[in-house]
Structure 1
Amino acid sequence: MVQDLAFGGWSGILIMIVYGLIMLLIGFLTFLKNKNVRESNDEYYLGGRGLSVMVLFFTFYATQYSGNTIIGYAPTGYRMGFEWLQSVTFMILVIGGYLLFAPRLYVLGKKFKFITPTDWLEKRFRSKGITILGSILMLYGLGNYLLEQFVAVGQGVAGLTGGTIPYQVGVVFFIIIMLIYSWLGGMRSVAYTDTMQGIALLIGVFVLLVGSIVYFGGLPTATDYMQAYAPEKLGVPESNGIVGWFSMLLLVFIGASIYPHAIQRIFAAKSVKTLKKSFTAMVWMPFITTGVVFIVGIIGINAFPGLDTFESEKLVGMMANVIASQNALFYWAMVLLFGGIIAAIISTADSVLLTFSSIISKDLYGRYINPNATEPKQIFVGKIIGIISVAILLVIAWYPPATLYQIFVLKFELLVQIAPAFILGLYWKRLHTKSVFVGMIVGTILSAAMTFANYTPFGIFSGLWGLFINLVICVVGSLLFTVSRSEEEAVDKVIGL
């Protein structure tokens, strides 16, 4: 979290207002240029399937690398030492996860006019159970993710302004702005603001690194300190730690790559060539972003030794305070950095909200509740439900019951249960529909039960145990139960490219 940033105050308020006005301006200009945005699901939720390489790259980048990457990953590196190098690894693996299915799914999405991730499930399996269950799991993951961003932006605004703008006011201010520009321009507004926010975050990360090296010393200084006073942060983890390390890599490899808002961006690409070029550029971002943040966390070990867990959460703010106090250039650079962090958090939230609304309006309302609803009406319903959902999440964010904590940590554990349907379904024609449905249910129940019981055998995440059982049921069921000739022919028309 961002707290106690003494350099904030009026300059922080100025930066917040400027960022907010720029976001509103982008939304307004996008609306004027594309006034039919309210008439078509394709235009509103996918930007007319015309996102260019640069815009697609930055909307992927700003969505994947939230401001929490800066605020949260550096303190984790501070506490774990070089073991946290895994953060760079699992961000690389996310790109590998995309490449397992994204190009093929893009071709199918363009062929069959997919708008949402659920459209793929419906087209592939033609099962009401899989479609609804998949939608619920995706909505749960998206709602959870959105809640995290709201909490983070409130803390960020309060920190950037030195407490001048309270947590609640900061949350409401940016949520209103986000709702306005996403309401006006849909995916185009979200993607264009993501571009601005992604550039701000990228510049801010490097400013923080340069300032940290100049005023605290680089990696050699930090490593010498660790060798003398914290050698455990230099060594490799014990066997249980290694299992947990690989468990985390696998969970993120699968879970982050099938985030619904990331999948929707696949459908929004102008062409498969555009998509591949964007992913090629994204391959470098773990080093440029997560790697840089990791180095900052390591440098912090020498800069502020002996911090406990709670104190270390303020590490980035503490380092920024010292850097900002050196001269006017670094003062404003640090103010811009935290403005960029907050903007990046918003860029993640707007993407999540757009996909959340699309699943409710098109997949649930338009498909099952009111099949005769026109596309403008579906879009309107999605906007209204989005506002209601945001209001509910705000209440939870301000007054969270203690029992909700375990529900929040179920995000990846439940979301990965849709992976067999998404990935195997793209390549295996004989994948048995009922086995997929049963696997999703059993995997979901098992993951939830193990998480609530805090039971992780061998240090492996509960979601992976659920996914393993889910996958076994899918594969064994598909081998045992035959698919009719007509069903196989129907599937071949979908994935037989």
Structure 2
Amino acid sequence: MSTALELSIVVGYLLLTLGIGLTAYRLTERTAEDYYLASRTLGTVVLLFTVFATLLSAFTFFGGPNIAYLYGPEWILVMGLMDGIIFAVLWYVIGYKQWLIGQARGHLTLGEMLGDRFGTNRLRALIAVISLVWLFPYVMLQQIGAGTALEALTGGAVPFWGGAALITAFMIVYVVLAGMRGIAWTDTLQGAFMLVMVWAALLWVVASVGGVSAATSRMGSASPEFTALGSAFYTPQRMLTFAVSIAFGVTMFPQVNQRFFAADSETVLKRSFALWPVLVLLLFVPAFLLGAWAQGLGIAADVGAGQNVLSLVLTEYTPGWFAALVVAGAIAAMMSSSDSMLLSGSSYFTRDVYRPLVDPSLSDEREDLLGRIGVAVFATGALVGSLLIGGSADVGVVGSILVDIGDTAFGGFAQLSLPVVVALYWSGTTKTGIYTGIVASQLVYAAGVLLPVAELALPVVGPVSVGVPATYLGWGISLYCMLLGLVLTVGVSALTTPTAAEDSAVYDVAAD
């Protein structure tokens, strides 16, 4: 199939989503609550799919299948089963309580909710800055993935930088116009489309190779260890580290956490987190099976050269137009993540940094305008970073970069989760306690990721590189830091007294 036709499929899909965004723009009020939360009116299907599509990222489509190809299909357990269930539980434990508080107090962000409880704007700003620091590289991840996908789809006719710039420009226009309402609508379209396409891809490949048994048998012949549970890579400690870090990290992602406030009703929220594990499995099982099966499908030399395994499987076993549709869906999934990140990142800056610390009298209309400008600035900065990293890397390193960035960001966000849970459910939590727990765990985690191993005191098992945190006694450093944050939040709170500005009654809310 010609490059022009492949590009027309991708561009046509982008234009369709832009049309939805323009419709949403005409319906969106010029207020922060409507721009960032769609006035808290999301129903079950839209809320479920907007969270779902927000998490369909380059890490899922271009990192996950490659991990399954390299190490075996157990990645389905890590992302599909364990994280599907763990995140659903956390959606109830954290998200439900946040929704109740948000309904009662009108909060739009996590930082605003915590700042209200502990009577400090500095805590709001701290949460926002930490979140933006970890969010920035994750936006870059989407841009790297999109640039790589378009370059591969067009055989290099669209270079990496061109693809990344094109997607970034589209995202800026879309997010500035659409706001939460438009993003949630397109998320629903994109999530449903991607589910259909990934299952169609699986069935197409299965039919081409002679059935599920044949595909599994060929995989077992090429890599016999893939037919047994566990390996040197899939140790229980490593799998649990990934699963816990990802699930707890996801709950603190701004673009996910903010959606906890947006449900139309308590019933909507409960239905959504109950259906979540089913939806996750429906996506991850076919995507990661295709990656694992690729071991026996005769494309090992290409993957070894650094290509994305999912794209190679589709190119080999499906028509060009179908592969282009799947890539278009994957790019749309990346944009679903990126546009939500840009919107939430903008709200964290304008709502929790600029408004309380710079201009407390900022009007809703001015905040709405500032938020739209912030989207463009944040996206452009991330594009520059993605071009410096992805554009300078050998193609064989790109997949590793995606996984490294994703794993690092998950762990960084996960450090916020346990202090937040303590604050939500224990009235004895003090401002000093939550400050100590958050700051200490973040600093130790950053040191464990970035500093040389020789400077760390605990015994190290396995290699360490930037983006792949060290493992100590078999467990990832992110888990140790999460426990550190929990112990310090509880311990320091027990030893300190609340200030006059703190008000634990802010969280005294009950279900209807």
- Structures share a fold, TM > 0.5? yes
Superposition RMSD in Å: 2.3
- Counterpart of 1:43 (choices 34, 37, 42) is 34
Report the equivalent of 1:433.
431
Equivalence map 1:144-183=2 (5 Å): 144-183=137-176
Kindly indicate whether residue 444 of structure 2 is the aligned counterpart of residue 446 of structure 1.
yes
Q: Is the 8 A contact 2:221 2:296 kept in 1?
A: no
For each residue in 1:272-295, what CA deviation from the matched residue of structure 2 results, as whole angstroms up to 9, or x when unmatched? 211222222322122210111122
Q: Number of matched residues? A: 479
Distance (whole Å) between structure 1 residues aligned to residue 306 and residue 405 of structure 2? 25
Kindly indicate whether residue 384 of structure 2 is the aligned counterpart of residue 384 of structure 1.
no
Please report how far the alpha carbon of residue 44 of structure 1 lies from its aligned counterpart in structure 2 after TM superposition. Answer: 0.7
Q: Is the 8 A contact 1:456 1:462 kept in 2?
A: yes
Please report how far the alpha carbon of residue 409 of structure 1 lies from its aligned counterpart in structure 2 after TM superposition. Answer: 5.7
Equivalence map 1:79-158=2 (5 Å): 79-85=70-76, 86-92=78-84, 93-158=86-151
> What secondary structure, in the 3-state scheme, does the structure 2 residue paired with 1:114 have?
coil
Counterpart residue identity of residue 495, structure 1: D
Counterpart residue identity of residue 361, structure 2: N
Alignment gaps of 5+ in structure 2: 394-400, 453-463, 465-469
Please report how far the alpha carbon of residue 458 of structure 1 lies from its aligned counterpart in structure 2 after TM superposition. Answer: 1.6
Kindly indicate whether residue 496 of structure 2 is the aligned counterpart of residue 481 of structure 1.
yes
Report the equivalent of 1:4.
none
Kindly indicate whether residue 67 of structure 2 is the aligned counterpart of residue 54 of structure 1.
no
Counterpart residue identity of residue 95, structure 2: A
Counterpart residue identity of residue 335, structure 1: A
* 1:421 to 1:396, Cα distance in 2 relative to 1, 3 A: same
Equivalence map 1:276-287=2 (5 Å): 276-287=270-281
Kindly indicate whether residue 345 of structure 2 is the aligned counterpart of residue 356 of structure 1.
yes
Kindly indicate whether residue 475 of structure 2 is the aligned counterpart of residue 460 of structure 1.
yes
* 1:309 to 1:465, Cα distance in 2 relative to 1, 3 A: farther
Q: Is the 8 A contact 1:200 1:337 kept in 2?
A: no
Report the equivalent of 2:487.
472
Report the equivalent of 1:252.
246
Report the equivalent of 1:328.
none
For each residue in 1:409-445, what CA deviation from the matched residue of structure 2 results, as whole angstroms up to 9, or x when unmatched? 6312321221133211111110122011112111111
For each residue in 1:447-473, what CA deviation from the matched residue of structure 2 results, as whole angstroms up to 9, or x when unmatched? 111112344312322222211111111
* Percent of paired sites with the same residue: 25
Distance (whole Å) between structure 2 residues aligned to residue 472 and residue 30 of structure 1? 45
For each residue in 1:32-88, what CA deviation from the matched residue of structure 2 results, as whole angstroms up to 9, or x when unmatched? 233x2x2x1111111111112221121111111225423322221111113323232
Distance (whole Å) between structure 2 residues aligned to residue 465 and residue 131 of structure 1? 25
Kindly indicate whether residue 355 of structure 2 is the aligned counterpart of residue 398 of structure 1.
no
Q: Is the 8 A contact 2:437 2:488 kept in 1?
A: yes
Counterpart residue identity of residue 468, structure 1: L
Higher deviation after alignment, 413-422 or 425-434: 413-422
* 1:425 to 1:442, Cα distance in 2 relative to 1, 3 A: same
Kindly indicate whether residue 246 of structure 2 is the aligned counterpart of residue 233 of structure 1.
no
TM-score (norm 2): 0.87
- Counterpart of 1:216 (choices 201, 209, 214) is 209
Please report how far the alpha carbon of residue 185 of structure 1 lies from its aligned counterpart in structure 2 after TM superposition. Answer: 2.5
For each residue in 1:371-392, what CA deviation from the matched residue of structure 2 results, as whole angstroms up to 9, or x when unmatched? 1111111122222222122222
Distance (whole Å) between structure 2 residues aligned to residue 349 and residue 230 of structure 1? 36
Distance (whole Å) between structure 1 residues aligned to residue 308 and residue 234 of structure 2? 28
For each residue in 1:195-231, what CA deviation from the matched residue of structure 2 results, as whole angstroms up to 9, or x when unmatched? 2211221111111101110112444224434544422
Equivalence map 1:259-274=2 (5 Å): 259-274=253-268
Distance (whole Å) between structure 2 residues aligned to residue 308 and residue 450 of structure 1? 34
Q: Is the 8 A contact 1:366 1:372 kept in 2?
A: yes
Distance (whole Å) between structure 1 residues aligned to residue 99 and residue 311 of structure 2? 41
Q: Is the 8 A contact 1:261 1:352 kept in 2?
A: yes
* 1:407 to 1:221, Cα distance in 2 relative to 1, 3 A: closer
Distance (whole Å) between structure 1 residues aligned to residue 375 and residue 73 of structure 2? 41
> What secondary structure, in the 3-state scheme, does the structure 2 residue paired with 1:65 have?
coil
Please report how far the alpha carbon of residue 95 of structure 1 lies from its aligned counterpart in structure 2 after TM superposition. Answer: 2.0
Counterpart residue identity of residue 51, structure 2: F
For each residue in 1:228-262, what CA deviation from the matched residue of structure 2 results, as whole angstroms up to 9, or x when unmatched? 44222233235982211111111112111221111
Report the equivalent of 1:419.
417
Equivalence map 1:19-34=2 (5 Å): 19-34=13-28
Distance (whole Å) between structure 1 residues aligned to residue 328 and residue 405 of structure 2? 30
